[in-house]
Amino acid sequence: MSDGSHCELYVYYRVAQDHVLPALRTVRDFQRGLREQHPGLTTRVLQRSAERGEGVTLMEIYAFGDGRNSGIDTALRSGIEDAAAALAPMLSSPRQTEVFDALD
């Protein structure tokens, strides 16, 4: 398991079509706050391409891209999950988290 020193975090989940815009607003708001609290943190939110049906898959990405060679540690990961609690009423699937270690 990664110690967080060089890792990136990928979190994906589904939301109903009518919750996409509120979910995006919520994610962008808490990601902005996380970036302010953690200088150098980069965040993104993506939507699965060409998805059809009643739901949409969103993915949040967290990494440090400032050359500090740092990663997502346990404390920051906990902060991300705490901030994401605001999404709970909009989710149609659990949040799935994947951690990837940087190789360069």
Structural domain containing residue 45: 7-99
Q: Grade residue 1 by pLDDT with cuts at 50, 70 and 90.
A: very low
Is 26 a member of any domain? yes
Q: Tell me whether residue 71 is in a domain.
A: yes
CATH number of the domain that residue 11 is part of? 3.30.70.600
Closest CA to 67 of 6, 2, 1: 6
What's the rounded Cα separation, in Å, for the pair 86 and 104? Answer: 34
Residue 6 scores a pLDDT above 80: no
Mean pLDDT of 22-45: 95
Over range 44-59, report the average pLDDT. Answer: 89
In a domain, 2, yes or no: no
Residues 13-17: what's their mean pLDDT?
A: 95
Sheet with 41-47: strands ordered across: 41-47, 55-64, 7-16, 96-101
Is residue 104 a part of any domain in this protein? no
